[in-house]
Amino acid sequence: MQNKVEFFKEKSDVAVDIVMATYNGEKFIAQQIESILAQDHDNFTIYISDDGSTDQTVEIIKSFSEYGSKIKIVNTERVGGVMKNFEKALTYSKADYIMLSDQDDVWYKNKIQTSLDCILKEENCASKKVPLMVYTDLELVDENLSLIDESFYHASGLNPYRNLIIDNLLWMNSVWGCTILLNRAALSTCLPFKYPLMMHDHWLAMNTLKNGKLVYIDKPLIKYRQHSSNVLGGVGYQQSFIKRLFDVKLYKNIISKAKTVSKMHQTNTTAKKIIFSKIIIRSIKNCETKKYPLIFLFFYLILG
């Protein structure tokens, strides 16, 4: 029987690739990298694709040269946005386990190890050939790392377990890429990306669930920083009902997503649109509110 020492030695030997997409992130990039370098599990390599930053982002990354091949800049040319930038970085990963990192957050020291423990346990029950992804909650903080809420899902009123149901994940998503760890089998089902996408993390989660399994870890393992330059953030979900009711930006976002979902799933005929509409209707019972899916369904049928 395997003893505890051997078990932990094996886990510490497991290599993890961390892919990071950067763009003009000079303000917080050093703190993000430092939090990764301070991880309890230190068998990792960071692959960074920079989308042609015009600030000091790349120079700051290069200042960590003392860590040698542990941090690799794989691209500094413009690739065209966060989704393509992450896809670029992912193509360089070699390890059996892959994590995504934003450029402006702070990781808990046990983020890698906790996620890795979970996925190894799942693989022990299934197989490394089964596509698997784990995702976690996030601690919401402001740009100075002061606490906003201990739970992103609590603050946003979202149910993280809804992502475990494929009917929901086909058209909506609250799996945040900066929380995930996936195995090589999962990544293989996702590359190359097939555009248009709602977002890279949605694409990764949806394809993994289609072919395998998602697992939610009900604890935050990251300080998710909210600031004016976020590509996506969590504070917007705290708006009152009245503000959301007249939020033009929100409706534009829903319209954009409805159009993207239609193209992504190629529902370009009346028959296909009806079939997919039934999926949306079927998934309403799993949603936190009926308002969003009904609004989404309306725009999907009219404009999708």
Give the per-residue SS3 of the chain.
CCCHHHHHHHHHCCCEEEEEEECCCCCCHHHHHHHHHCCCCCCEEEEEEECCCCCCHHHHHHCCHHHHHHEEEEECCCCCCHHHHHHHHHCCCCCCEEEEECCCCEECCCHHHHHHHHHHHHHHHCCCCCCEEEEEEEEEEECCCCEEECCHHHHHCCCHHHHHCHHHHCCCCCCCHHHCEEEHHHHHCCCCCCCCCCCHHHHHHHHHHHHCEEEEEEEEEEEEEECCCCCCCCHHHHCCHHHHHCCHHHHHHHHHHHHHHHHHCCCCCHHHHHHHHHHHHHHHHHCCCCHHHHHHHHHHHHHC
* pLDDT tens track, the chain, 304 positions: 444 434 444 677 999 999 999 999 999 999 999 999 999 999 999 999 999 999 999 999 999 999 999 999 999 999 999 999 999 999 999 999 999 999 999 999 999 999 999 999 999 998 889 999 999 999 999 999 999 999 999 999 999 999 999 999 999 999 999 999 999 999 999 999 999 999 999 999 999 999 999 999 999 999 999 987 665 555 444 555 556 556 778 889 999 999 999 999 999 999 999 999 999 999 999 999 898 899 999 999 998 7
Q: Looking up tokens 């929380």, which residue turns up?
A: 179
C-alpha–C-alpha distance, residues 267 and 274, integer Å: 9
CB count in 10 Å sphere of residue 283:
19
CB count in 10 Å sphere of residue 148:
16
From 74, 297, 90, 107, select the one nearest 207 (Cα to Cα): 90
pTM across the whole model: 0.91
Q: Looking up tokens 């300080």, which residue turns up?
A: 223
CA distances to 6, 43, 82 from 69, rounded to whole Å, are 27, 12, 24
Domain residue ranges of the chain, discontinuous segments joined by +: 4-233, 239-303
Q: Looking up tokens 């705290």, which residue turns up?
A: 238
Amino acid at the residue 210: K
Q: Looking up tokens 């029987």, which residue turns up?
A: 1
Give the pLDDT score at 227: 84
How far is C-alpha 113 from the chain's CA centre? 18
Give the pLDDT score at 7: 46
Please compute, for residue 262, the number of CA atoms within 13 A of its CA located in the half-sphere on the CB side.
22
Largest CA distance in the chain: 63
**The listed CATH number (2.120.10.30, 3.30.70.330, 3.40.50.720, 3.90.550.10) that belongs to domain 4-233:** 3.90.550.10
Give the pLDDT score at 303: 85
Q: Dihedral angle at the C-alpha atoms of 242, 248, 252, 257, nearest 10 degrees?
A: -10
Question: Which tokens is 110 given?
Answer: 């046990």
Give the pLDDT score at 264: 96
In degrees, to the nearest 5, what angle opens at C-alpha 19 toward C-alphas 15 and 25?
A: 140
From 176, 183, 165, select the one nearest 220 (Cα to Cα): 176
Main-chain dihedrals φ then ψ at residue 288, nearest 5 degrees: -70, -30
Give the pLDDT score at 270: 94
C-alpha–C-alpha distance, residues 175 and 4, integer Å: 33
C-alpha–C-alpha distance, residues 40 and 111, integer Å: 8
Q: Looking up tokens 């409805």, which residue turns up?
A: 258
